Amino acid sequence: MGYTDIQSMSLWARRNDMILHLHRAGHSTYTRQKNHGVSFRVISKWMRLAGVDHIHAGTVVGKLEGDPNSVQGFYNVLREEHNAVDLQRGIFFDQDWAGLRGVMPVASGGIHAGQMHQLLHYLGEDVVLQFGGGTIGHPMGIAAGATANRVALEAMVLARNEGRDIWNEGPDILVNAARHCAPLRAALDVWGEITFNYESTDTPDFVPTSTAAA
Amino acid sequence: MKLTQGTFSFLPDLTDEQIGSQVEYCLDKGWAVAIEYTDDPHPRNSYWEMFGPPMFDIRDAAGVMTELRACRQTFPNHYIKVNAFDSTHGRESLRLSFIVGRPDKEPGFRLERQEGPGRTVHYTTHAYATDRPEGERY
């Protein structure tokens, strides 16, 4: 099915108690084209209008790299009630969504429990964190993988709400949580050190330049 | 079987101090905090009993903790949870909900199968405790 079908699929999904999940496989063939492509924040806006429920919108830290500001721009377009002008995140105009339902962004692709503090920091909590290999590849089995991810997430949300600095203390928070949870301990042993620190190939459309006044 | 519903249910039971900080976080965000209890913890039972109305006017976590202690005293063998409701336009829903009290013994759930037409099977869960009348379950 193509983009023209998405509104019909959205209606069908509502009539049949289904959730409409959009996987953006292949999007980079046009979202990275600067001369004749379509930015993913436009796709995000378009898909919110079309009635999609979930959409893959980037992780910042996973195996599919992304510029934090651009990804946050997509997320804000998908889920905020009002988008104020935010040039660094690619929002060039004010947009009031007038109560239009949001879309739940999905982060997936090479994410694991050891990155939980970064995921929560960049993406916030209104997001589906989809750990595929990070669940199924767990040495103690799939159920243990799910438990590890859930415990890591809950420990991080608890700490953030208590006012702790999860960006810097994140790894310690995870190690402490793993003391009462063998599956999380095993997950951190396997994946804890794995990071994808390459530069994003996406380039932002707006880069702030310092002026004499600033 | 430890009941795992809501946020934080995969962590060890929260201490009162930890519960207090979470309530504080909710109040700082302007959410209304409410306390609910039940002895029918089926995962699809979202209608727990209210322990008093939501505390729209309370701005201090200590007030909520006093209510929580009163709820635990009245219902020492029920499940108790704290809900935080965000009335912001576009939200109008719970932002945080977590269990803060549970019975000493949690017998858990059994899986029930029902034969449907065409040899289809319908599944549901059944809490062992709900075989007994309300108020005598845990």
Summarised one tens digit per residue, pLDDT across range B95-114 is 999 999 999 999 999 999 99
**What residues 17-36 of chain B have any CB closer than 8 A to a CB of chain A?**
18, 21-22, 25
How many angstroms away from the CA of A142 is the closest CA of chain B?
A: 16
pLDDT at B34 over 60: yes
Q: Provide the pLDDT for residue A208.
A: 79
Query: Residue A50 is which amino acid?
Result: A
Per DSSP, helices labelled H in chain B are: 16-28, 61-74
Angle at B14 between CA B9 and CA B16, to 5 degrees: 145
- Cβ-defined contact of A161 to B90 (cutoff 8 Å): no
The residue ranges of chain A whose pLDDT is under 50 are: none
- B99 and B80 in contact (C-beta within 8 Å)? yes
pLDDT at B19 over 80: yes
Q: Provide the pLDDT for residue A65.
A: 67
Could you tell me which chain A residue has the CA closest to the CA of B91? A81
Q: Provide the pLDDT for residue A213.
A: 64
* Separation of alpha carbons B10 and A18, rounded Å: 28
H/E stretch holding B93? strand B93-101
B44-80 residue pLDDT tens = 998 999 999 999 999 999 999 999 999 999 999 999 9
A31-81 residue pLDDT tens = 888 888 899 999 999 999 999 999 999 988 877 767 899 999 999 999 999
Burial A183-194 (b: 16+ CB within 10 A, else e): bbbbbbebbbee
- B41 and B53 in contact (C-beta within 8 Å)? no
- B33 and B64 in contact (C-beta within 8 Å)? yes
* Residues with Cβ within 8 Å of residue A144, at least 6 apart in sequence: A138, A182, A183, A186
Q: Work out the burial of residue B132: count CB atoms within 10 Å of its CB; fewer than 13 is exposed, 13-18 middle, 19 or more buried.
A: exposed
- B52 and B67 in contact (C-beta within 8 Å)? yes
- Cβ-defined contact of B89 to A81 (cutoff 8 Å): yes
Domains in chain B, CATH or no CATH each: 16-106 (3.30.190.10)
* Separation of alpha carbons A195 and A122, rounded Å: 15
The architecture of the domain spanning A1-104 is Alpha-Beta Barrel (3.20)
Sign of CA dihedral B19, B21, B22, B24: positive
Residues of A whose CB is below 8 A from B96: 161
How many angstroms away from the CA of B25 is the closest CA of chain A?
A: 6
Residues of A whose CB is below 8 A from B22: 158, 161-162
Residues of B whose CB is below 8 A from A155: 11
Per DSSP, helices labelled H in chain A are: 6-15, 28-31, 40-50, 68-79, 116-123, 133-136, 142-161, 166-178, 182-191
Mean pLDDT of B8-35: 97
β-pair partners for A107? A129
Mean pLDDT of B14-31: 98
Residue A158 near chain B (CB below 8 Å)? yes
Q: Where are the domains of chain A?
A: 1-104, 110-197
- Cβ-defined contact of A162 to B90 (cutoff 8 Å): no
Which single residue is written with the structure tokens 């939980």?
A116
How many CA within 13 A on the CB side of residue A67? 17
- Cβ-defined contact of B89 to A99 (cutoff 8 Å): yes
* Separation of alpha carbons B133 and B53, rounded Å: 25
- Three-state DSSP state, B112: strand
